Structure 1
């Protein structure tokens, strides 16, 4: 990402991802969530790497039909061949790289504006999704890692449940309807809670630091101008 990127595209893509998985799980069978998630992953990809394009809609829209079909059939082949973990690892790599790019632009870089605030929200959502993928991978690799989670479900059936659990954990709500059972799953849960709390502390520190810097710069400028004016007046008086 560059400093000129607009995080509004990424914000809408992430919200669409969360909403789409919930609606697909609520109203459709197991085949539709796979298509919805594949389509939204492509939307997320275009949003992250295409936001610096001036003609974003005109130049990128045409790739959606082909990309959706490609990811849908490719994802179905991976699941049928027993490589659903590979699919999740690809998604995890994409989310982590997106989070790193977003963090470099948002935290401790320049003045705080509306775009930076949207970027901070995007980073928080990306962290929740990263842990949701990690929980899904753990459940697939070690069945029974979490309570109230089916041990024989496909990844696209588990993923919406772990999105819910991830954001409950990162916000430290802890409803208790889903809980970790194995040491590795417990580690991921409390580590996510720690990262979530540290992120909020770092974000607040960044906002306050930026505000104080702007405040000091705005108040120092009139003082400097007044000092220069006073010096000029003294010089005139000596003449």
Structure 2
């Protein structure tokens, strides 16, 4: 993995995370979604930390089964012990650090190419996931913070619903099937909408600015090439005839 193609892996990991969570919620019981999410989080971890370090140890194939089992059993122990918030805080820290590393490489850093565009998409998806974790934490801490959300569910059954709600909010669609009730949940909702709109504005400005800068650099005339005027050409042609 190089800096020219590193966001391809992160893109597929994020899409797999979203798709796998939805499929697990749709077709399986509560135990399977936790295993699926644990496996995909490991894949996401490898993809993100590979952005700057192509020799990271978790890229070795034989590590994957052990890492998946570790995350699954550790997550099950936390849930059984009543420490859902601890698991979510660990996941939140990981997603925030991943978003910061991605933003550092993507925004306002040189020429825009296909890899940078993929990175910008990944950063947008990471922001949606960060707010989904925040919503889940709020619901677990203050039951009844949102409408149409169960008040006695584990985090891994709430998380898929909040992923949906988060991306509906960050894109300002606002379907209204889930809505905030408490002041803290309302604050998170409108702050996500604001951040999502500002991100799109900053991203567009970055893309346009980079394009104009590259366009100006490619069309700049070399300083050492003399520019002949039309009058000088006529004088030279007249002298040649004489």
TM normalised by structure 1 equals: 0.91
Structure 1 runs of 4+ off > 6 angstroms? 55-58
CA distance in 2, matches of 1:112, 1:9: 18
Aligned counterpart, 2:195: 195
Checking the alignment, whether the CA contact within 8 Å between 1:144 and 1:181 is kept in structure 2 is: yes
Alignment of 1:15-94 (within 5 A): 15-51=15-51, 59-94=59-94
Checking the alignment, whether the CA contact within 8 Å between 2:58 and 2:64 is kept in structure 1 is: no
Alignment of 1:137-152 (within 5 A): 137-152=137-152
Q: Which runs of 5+ in 1 are unaligned?
A: 232-239
TM-superposed deviation, 1:54: 5.8
Aligned counterpart, 1:234: none
Checking the alignment, whether the CA contact within 8 Å between 2:78 and 2:87 is kept in structure 1 is: yes
Aligned counterpart, 1:235: none
TM normalised by structure 2 equals: 0.90
TM-superposed deviation, 1:3: 4.9
CA distance in 2, matches of 1:161, 1:195: 21
CA distance in 2, matches of 1:4, 1:150: 44
**Alignment of 1:214 onto 2:214:** yes
Q: Which runs of 5+ in 2 are unaligned?
A: 228-242
Alignment of 1:115-130 (within 5 A): 115-130=115-130
What secondary structure sits across from 2:77 in the alignment? helix
Aligned counterpart, 2:98: 98
CA distance in 2, matches of 1:215, 1:50: 32
CA distance in 2, matches of 1:76, 1:193: 33
1:228 to 209, 224, 228: 224
Checking the alignment, whether the CA contact within 8 Å between 1:4 and 1:52 is kept in structure 2 is: no
CA distance in 2, matches of 1:188, 1:170: 11
TM-superposed deviation, 1:42: 0.4
TM-superposed deviation, 1:229: 2.5
TM-superposed deviation, 1:31: 0.3
